[in-house]
Structure 1
Amino acid sequence: MPYNPAPGNIGQRAYAAYAESTGGLTHDGKQMPPWEDLGDAVQTAWNAAAYTVWNAAQDGGR
């Protein structure tokens, strides 16, 4: 399978998917803040997690 580069907003897309699947609530039942209000450290963490999954999918899950 050819390698496809990850979209630049992959962390934000993952965050939005999480929000959709939880009804917009955090793990402890609080309302999730908008992406723009997360701060750099949390956005970086979401990006890192999403890129890791993306890269694993590109490698066939290895």
Structure 2
Amino acid sequence: MAMTLRLTDDETEALRRKAAEEGRSMQDVARAAINRYTTDEDAQFRTMVASIVDRDRELLDRLAQ
């Protein structure tokens, strides 16, 4: 499905820079960002980190001292 996405000048420039850095098209970068947002990979990562912190709480406390 096609759609039109209206970005501010600053958003367009940031997207252009990121695409150039990665050697990808602006469309590919935008689609990857949408995919990350909609699959909420960040939440999955935070959940994994929280479980590791819980599991290793004693060790982390000792290391902090």
Which TM-score band applies after superposition, normalised by the shorter structure?
0.3 to 0.5
Larger helix percent: 2
What TM-score, normalized by structure 1, do the two folds share?
0.35
What TM-score, normalized by structure 2, do the two folds share?
0.33
